[in-house]
A and B are shown apart, each in its own frame.
Chain A
Amino acid sequence: MNNVQNKKRANKSLPFFFKDEFKVSFIIIFISTILLITTFTFDIVPPILNRGIQPATFPKALLVLIITLTMIIYYLAKKKPWKIEKKLPKTFFLTLLSFIFFVVISKTLDFFLAISVLSIFVSYNWGEKRLFYLLLVGIIFPAIVFVFFETILGLRFPPGIITNIYYN
């Protein structure tokens, strides 16, 4: 209890731009504003062809709603500060990084290679150092999943350097 109160006190003493409520609200408003600006680039339907509202109107309304509600949230949070979450650990950022690797590898090389790399990378960073289990999770497990989907459910996977070996 004391710990939470101390954290709340610590949060109050921070400059406003370091506070969680500001950071979260800022990111939402920032992204929403960019999207709102994008809506002004949408093509406009000529009045003679238009049925109902313009394609940009509805997203604009939604984004204005999100920005307005976020500002209200921030205003309310100033009166009642949020409880500070603990600092994000290194594993979080490494997991985040692994998704980037996953997307890059799956798009450029092979989907199953990406799954294997992700499995080994994430498992290792999450504390699994035993080689057998890393191989189990990184190679044997994806292979079982592949065979299950390919043979039993009859799904064909997109081409890639490993998948092509199987199909050829």
Chain B
Amino acid sequence: MDNLLLMLAPLFSSKLLLVLFFGTLFGLILGVLPGLGPTTGGALILPFTMTLDPLSAIVLLTSIYCAGTYGGAITAILINTPGTPAAAATCLDGYPLAQKGEAGRALGMATVSSTVGGIFSVIILVFFAPLLAKLAYEFGQPEYFALAIFGLTMLASIGDGNPIKNLIAGAFGILISTIGKDFMTSIDRFTYGINELSEGIGFIPVVVGLFAISEMLTQSTLLDQVFKRVALKAVKLPSINDYKQTWKTILRSSGIGSFIGVLPAEGGTVASLIGYSEAKRFSKKPEEFGKGSIEGIAGAEAANNAATGGAMVPTLALGIPGSATTAVILTGLIIHGVRPGPDLFREQPEFLYGIFGAMLIANILFFIFGFFGAKLFARITLVPNKIFCLWNLFIKSINSRCLDNDIFWSTWIFYEKIWLFSCSGYYRIDIRRIS
């Protein structure tokens, strides 16, 4: 009971509430803007948190994390470009549904399932954190190997395309990750004497190549087609039947996401893929997946937001980041002199439960912003494709240029092959997820 009261502490502090409000809104905007995301946003805002007290700083970062993870679904649904990697699986059904003129329905379902997933994971975090942390800590190499194989086998069932093509795309993704120096021996692989390739190809250039550039090339072939745009009056939110149809999927994916999130280094991306795949496996209408299934959106979104709470468990309990964004949060903790680990639970419970409470409130806040802003966000589809594709490319290019300095390779290496792959039914998500 004391712990629950500690969780409500942020509600009684106007400063924390303000930080939460700003963090959620900022996270949502970061998630919506293609090319940015909670990891980049968290890293960018980290220096500014120095002026805040430790709790406010971590509350700001965690609210960005929660809202940013959800925000990625908005562009995934509206323009087929996930704002965050964790929303990649949402593209598979969100975008087809938006093309059918049901963008609002897709956005509404993403909002509700993200919120349920997020709140579920916070509850798990509060009640089962010590137990889950212990379980994840006991994972050895055989268990991680089994998990990796499990993830790879998921590729075969993703999308409605040919499973063999999915596997080829997955193998190509792993091949990309072998470029650069071999970690064990420091021997160059596929570098062709070019220094920039020695460090491998960064995550952001891969995303640029896979999503922004290939999308631009695809759009260039569709200029003569007139798409049915989403008129504001036509935006329809999910019906009661939609919720009846998806509540089991949402709960299942919330459980999956929380568990996957707890495993160190397995973030929302893996969670959303497994959540999506399991939603398809249990669905009564698996044939609709990839063509605009509402269950697909619910499965992916509940899982990736559930992973946010899960990922905080090893971060706080063991000092091992559960995902890329929690690595930034971990840095924030260290900068502010908070030492993560089992002792944190014993010595500073008010700090920990303050974070849990803030995450809970952030989930509720982004629900309000997202649900009531669905019609506003749907306006993005009114922007001509040519403008949005360019915007998408610019932002991602700038990110690559500033963060990885790898735009040269992203454009040169990927565009032709990726476009060829996606046109021929090879899933971009398979390549991206693996690399």
Q: Which residues of A contact B (CB under 8 A)?
A: 20, 24, 27-28, 31, 35, 38-39, 42-43, 45, 49-52, 55-56, 58-59, 62-63, 65-66, 69-70, 72-73, 76, 82, 85-86, 88-89, 91-92, 94-96, 99, 102-103, 106-107, 111, 115, 118-119, 122-123, 126-128, 137, 141-142, 145, 149, 153-158
Query: B423, A85: Cβ atoms under 8 Å?
Result: yes
Q: How far is the CB of B394 from chain A (nearest CB, A)?
A: 6
B412 interface residue (CB < 8 Å to A): yes
B222 to chain A, nearest CB (A): 9
CB distance from A143 to the nearest CB of B (A): 11
The answer for the CA separation of A55 and B300 in the assembled complex, in Å, is 35
B202 CB to nearest A CB, Å: 15
Please encode chain B, from 387 to 431, with 1 for each CB lying within 8 Å of some chain A CB and 0 for all others. Answer: 100110111011001100101100110011100100110000000
Q: Does B401 contact A157, Cβ atoms closer than 8 Å?
A: yes
Contacting B390 at CB < 8 Å: which of A66, A86, A137? A137
Knowing A89-B223, A89-B224, A95-B217, the reply to whether A55 touches B182 (Cβ < 8 A) is: yes
* Given A24-B424, A55-B187, A92-B217, also A31-B397 (CB < 8 A): no
Q: Would you mind naming 27 contact pairs between A and B with Cβ atoms under 8 Å apart?
A: A27-B420, A28-B168, A38-B192, A42-B187, A51-B184, A55-B187, A56-B189, A62-B171, A62-B174, A65-B167, A65-B171, A66-B172, A66-B175, A76-B164, A82-B424, A86-B221, A91-B220, A96-B416, A103-B408, A106-B401, A106-B407, A118-B390, A126-B220, A126-B223, A137-B387, A155-B398, A157-B402
Which of A43, A52, A69, A95 has the largest count of B CB atoms less than 10 A from its CB?
A95
Set of chain A residues within 8 Å of B252, measured between Cβ atoms: none
Contact A158 B401 (CB under 8 A): yes
What is the minimal beta-carbon distance from A97 to any residue of chain B, in angstroms? 11
Contact code string B160-196 (vs A, CB < 8 Å = 1, else 0)? 0010110110011011001000101101111010000
- Alpha-carbon gap, A114 to B183, bound state (A): 35
CB of B401 within 8 A of CB of A42, answer no
B420 in contact with A142 (CB, 8 Å): no
Q: B335 in the interface, Cβ–Cβ < 8 Å?
A: no
In this complex, how many residues of chain B approach chain A with their Cβ under 8 Å: the count is 49
Interface of B is mostly: helix
Which residues of A sit under 8 angstroms from B416, Cβ to Cβ? 96
B411 A158 Cβ-Cβ under 8 A: no
Q: How far is the CB of A112 from chain B (nearest CB, A)?
A: 9
Query: Could you tell me the distance in whole angstroms from the C-beta of A73 to the nearest C-beta in chain B?
Result: 6
Contact assessment for A89 and B220 in the assembled complex, using a CB-CB cutoff below 8 Å: yes
